[in-house]
Structure 1
Amino acid sequence: MEDRLFWCTEISQSFFMVDSSDVIDEILNSLSNDDDEEPIEWVIRRARHVVDNPLLGKLKKLHTIPDGFPLVVDEHSGSICEPILLFIYDKFYKNGPSTYVKNTALAYCSDLKDWFIYLEDFGLTWTQVSRFNLDSYISVMNGTVSPTTGKRYATETINRRATTIESFYKWGREKKFASADTPDDGLLLFGGGRAKPVPKRTDENAPISVLQPREVNLLFKELGVEPAHWVYHEKEATSRDWLACNIALKSGLRISEVKGLKVSQFSGLFKSNINPLKRYPIKITGKGGVSRFAKFPGELIMDIKLYVEGERSFISSRSRAEASDFLLLNPLASHRFKGASVSVRTLERKFASACIRAELYIQETIESVSWGREGIVRLDKLTETPSFVFHDLRHTYAVWSYYKQKQSGVAEPWLDIQACLGHADLTTTWRIYLRCAQDFEAGISDGYMRKINAI
């Protein structure tokens, strides 16, 4: 199943060999197939390079998608969701590699995957959707919690998903994908104007979450061993999660940037004498494919070196990861996925679990929603919600860096922080990350700063 998920189905594979209009005809012909099937479970997978099909050798030109291109597939059958595939291809790659932004394509793919899951739960096909169905989906998100975070959906997420779905159906109208089951007011026939944006809630204007030194110490005790203390004979132990969080805390990287780090970015430094007090520039490719230089403290580089030469080397020698350049690998205890590059979801999950074990959580009653063919089932349940998410390490880096540089006499510390975080506009740095810094700057004691500097 694992390998099969990365291959195109017969229809989708032919899409990259011939004109897309041929595929449109095949999809339209397949829309009338109402055979009962096992419930679909949509997930996202990444494409691997497609090889030439000898049966299609007569074709003059071979069109392929790039390695890592996001695909929405059925976990059970491995079949690709072709409408989403066609849409993502047309929007992000049809006009050439220069228009392809991997993270943006993945975000669109994720939004549409969740939309198709919603439709599947309510027994709807994507061709049957009307404005009422989209408005209902927005209403459900606005009144429930995310199954991923356990918190209410952010207004920004709700509005972004609505925009993505409307863009998808606009494309569908242009391709004339309407079918026999499309209602007269269906989005494949009639746009009906854009959905009204959901206004931001009052609680979303609250200051960002920043970990205090005591909370950081409690959290890191639950994240696993430090690279210097890892030993090969303790099979369940790993320093991967500790290191991933330490990188985010001390360099300000986003979780996707931490996951994407490569050994080759540091190998040159490993050959030199590393000064633990010096900050070393490391080139990072961030959101939208934009590059910047993040500054890694020497002590962090030393931790990375210990991990590479210790646990990572041990994992590589006992798995299929020897050719991988990714820095953070799954430990041998991961069994089936040992030696693979760690996923963003795994890092999020490990961080949340560590928060719970460190008692950095709040108990609250949330509404659990399950969707079925008989309607919505709502249940209230008491849950332990982590007080922080992985991204709060980036917030903490920004605020702590501000304090450290101000204490060192730097007149405009926000300029360095803006560059390290990769913000094109200084206003973003101020509005999101440093808004709360000055509010309690006067209350920061020398003892507090000593605690920060000691971490």
Structure 2
Amino acid sequence: MLPRTYNSETAEAFSPEALQRVLAELGSIPGDKADRRPCRDRLIASLAVATGMRLDECANLTLSQYKNLKKDGSYSNVALPLYKTKGLKPRTVVVPGIIHDDLRHYVKTERARAVRRAKTSVEALFVNHAHAKRNPGEAMTAHSIWRHFQRAVLKAGLVCPSHKNGTTSPSDRPEALHSFHHLRHTFAVTMYFELVRAGKAEPWLSLRTLLG
């Protein structure tokens, strides 16, 4: 049984199919030369769902934190210490090796092109696109990440209609069925069952540590 906080009725986790639809709308797979779209937004979402990181935690990542990641082998996971967290309580998340490789691709290509447009030195890991109308190459805000994600959810067709007096009308603005925070829920549900399969006696305690 899942802990009450993450039961199947309240967790609002993504289904695998829904998650793939949103990721496809967010951008290209890093390194996919056939898809000329930027990879940044897809990478941020992939990082969040793989680690359970919050929106602000993703936005606050720095280039120095990325450079300090150490990977022992091609498929090794890497530990990422987080300092700017909810409640300012540091914790460490585990970044899959493939996500680390994707981060390296982003830093060397897309981010490098963008920061050349910045007016000052930029320490943020995730930055505005080089072609952005406002503040190209500058640090990407949490609100901007949220906005891009909500737009992708809507484009993926994952909507719940707005209701007025129990009815809907063509003038109702569609509401996204998922939010960025649901990536964290998805990580929690997935990791909980992995811990159960691994034979953890109290999996919710390990999960609590991972989530912070």
The TM-score with structure 2 as length reference comes to: 0.85
Give me the identity figure in percent: 26
Change (3 A) 1:383 1:336: closer
Change (3 A) 1:380 1:219: closer
The correspondence for 1:220, drawn from 13, 23, 35, is 23
2:205 is matched with 415
Deviations 1:101-126 (A, max 9, x none): xxxxxxxxxxxxxxxxxxxxxxxxxx
Question: Aligned AA for 1:385?
Answer: E
Deviations 1:110-156 (A, max 9, x none): xxxxxxxxxxxxxxxxxxxxxxxxxxxxxxxxxxxxxxxxxxxxxxx
- Aligned Cα root-mean-square deviation (Å): 2.4
1:404 is matched with 194
2:4 is matched with none
Question: Aligned AA for 1:207?
Answer: T
Q: CA deviation at 1:366?
A: 4.4
Deviations 1:40-98 (A, max 9, x none): xxxxxxxxxxxxxxxxxxxxxxxxxxxxxxxxxxxxxxxxxxxxxxxxxxxxxxxxxxx
1:324 is matched with 122
Gaps spanning 5+ residues in structure 1: where?
A: 1-205, 368-378, 423-455
1:267 is matched with 67
1:391 is matched with 181
Q: CA deviation at 1:411?
A: 2.9
Bigger relative contact order (CA 8 A; separation at least 6): 2
Kindly indicate whether the alpha-carbon contact (under 8 Å) linking 2:153 and 2:176 is maintained by their aligned counterparts in 1.
Answer: yes
User: Per the alignment, in what secondary structure is the counterpart of residue 405 of structure 1?
Assistant: helix
* Residue 209, structure 1, aligned to residue 12, structure 2: yes
Kindly indicate whether the alpha-carbon contact (under 8 Å) linking 1:227 and 1:311 is maintained by their aligned counterparts in 2.
Answer: no
The correspondence for 1:315, drawn from 107, 114, 121, is 114
Q: CA deviation at 1:241?
A: 0.8
Q: CA deviation at 1:258?
A: 0.5
Change (3 A) 1:380 1:311: closer
CA distance in 2, matches of 1:223, 1:366: 30
Kindly indicate whether the alpha-carbon contact (under 8 Å) linking 1:276 and 1:302 is maintained by their aligned counterparts in 2.
Answer: no
* Residue 354, structure 1, aligned to residue 137, structure 2: no
1:242 is matched with 42
The TM-score with structure 1 as length reference comes to: 0.41
User: Per the alignment, in what secondary structure is the counterpart of residue 364 of structure 1?
Assistant: coil
1:282 is matched with 81
User: Per the alignment, in what secondary structure is the counterpart of residue 305 of structure 1?
Assistant: helix
Question: Aligned AA for 1:269?
Answer: L
The correspondence for 2:138, drawn from 319, 340, 348, is 340
Q: CA deviation at 1:399?
A: 0.5
User: Per the alignment, in what secondary structure is the counterpart of residue 383 of structure 1?
Assistant: coil
Q: CA deviation at 1:363?
A: 1.9
CA distance in 2, matches of 1:347, 1:366: 29
Q: CA deviation at 1:229?
A: 2.3
2:6 is matched with none
* Residue 382, structure 1, aligned to residue 182, structure 2: no
1:256 is matched with 56
Name the larger-Rg structure: 1
Change (3 A) 1:352 1:247: same
Deviations 1:377-400 (A, max 9, x none): xx9942211110110101111001
User: Per the alignment, in what secondary structure is the counterpart of residue 342 of structure 1?
Assistant: coil
Question: Aligned AA for 1:347?
Answer: I
Gaps spanning 5+ residues in structure 2: where?
A: 1-8
Deviations 1:278-329 (A, max 9, x none): 34242332113221112222222111111111111121223335x2110000
CA distance in 1, matches of 2:91, 2:84: 7
